[in-house]
Amino acid sequence: MPGQRTLFGTDITIASEYSNEVAVTLHLGDRLQLLATIPDGEASLIVTSPPYNLGKEYEEDQALGEYIETQAATISEAVRICADDGSICWQVGNYVDNGEIVPLDTVLYPVFRSHGLKLRNRIVWHFGHGLHCANRFSGRYEVILWFTKTDGYYFDLDAVRVPQKYPGKKHYKGPKAGQLSGNPDGKNPSDVWIMPNVKANHREKTKHPCQFPVALIERLILALTEPGDLVVDPYIGVGTTAAAAVLTGRRAAGADTMPEYLEIARERVRQAAAGTLPHRPLDKPIYDPSLPNGGHR
C-alpha cells in the first residue's frame, strides 16, 4: 500500500553514470546517452513526461514531424531496456499550433505499436487548475499511455486500491445476500485519476514549469513494479520519478540537460531517502469546500 519506506537509508548513493549497483542515477546530458548504457531488459518500468514541444526553456522548437522522430528514438531505446514483464508509461498532453491542438497520445500511439507493444490503459489524469482559454474550453486533463511488451506483465492491483465508495455495503438478495458487495481492501482506482497538478501553491513546486506530482508516478510504480526494481525516466527533470522510486524502495535512473534541474533532483532524492520530501500523499482526499476542513483527514 502507499507509504512504503525506502530500502536505501539516508546515505543513498546517487551516481552520474548508470550502474545496477547504485540506487539512483541522475545523468547530466542527452537521454539517449544514458539509455545506451542500460542493458537490454534491465528496467521494469520506463515512465516519463516528455517535452510537449511548446517552447519551454528546456525544449527545442521543432516541427511536429521532427518532434515525433525525436520521440521515436527515445521510445525505441525504452523498448530495448524494458523487461519482458515490464511496462512503458508515456504521460503527454497537447501540442498547440496557432490555436489548434494536436493530442500527442494519438500521434505517438503508432510509434509504440510499431514495436509490437500492447496498450493496456489510456489513463486520464484530471486536475482542477491550469491556463484559462478564451476561444476554446480550458484544458484540465492529460493522458498516460500504459504499454506492455508481453501478455505476461507485472500488475499489482492490491498495492493501489482506493477506498470503496460505500464501505460495508452488502448484497441484499440472491445467493450472496448479506455478503460484502465490494472488496474490503478497496476498489480499483479506474482509468480516470483525479490529482492536483503542481502549481504555485502546491507543496511540491520547484522552478520546473511543467512538474507532475509524486503521487501520479507513485501509483504507477506501486502497481507495475516490485521493491528493488529499476524505474527509468528518460526526461527526469527535477527528479519526481526518482523521488517516487526511492519512497517506494525502487531504484531509479534518468537524464536531463539542465544542470539546475538535476541539482534539485538530487536534493529531492536525498529528502525522499530521509523521509523529509515535501509531497502530497497518494491517499490524501481531494479538497472539497463543501465538507468540514475541505474533507481532509
Mean pLDDT by 10 residues, the chain (297 residues): 53 94 97 98 97 55 86 98 98 88 95 98 91 87 97 98 88 83 89 87 75 93 98 96 97 97 96 93 76 53
Residue 36: other Cβ atoms inside 10 A: 12
Cα-based distances in Å from 9 to 109, 203, 204: 39, 23, 21
Task: Round to whole Å and give the CA distance between 79 and 76.
Answer: 5
For 68-123, what is each residue's pLDDT tens digit? 999 999 999 999 999 999 999 999 999 888 888 999 999 999 999 999 999 999 99
What's 173's DSSP letter? S
Q: In the prediction, which pLDDT does 264 show?
A: 95
* 164: three-class secondary structure by DSSP: coil
- 3-state helix, strand, coil split of the chain in percent (to 5) is 25, 20, 50
Structural domains in the chain plus CATH codes: 14-280 (3.40.50.150)
Grid cell at residue 242: 526518482
* 201: three-class secondary structure by DSSP: coil
Task: Round to whole Å and give the CA distance between 271 and 275.
Answer: 6
Q: What is the 3-state secondary structure (H, E, C) of 222-249?
A: HHHCCCCCEEEECCCCCCHHHHHHHHCC
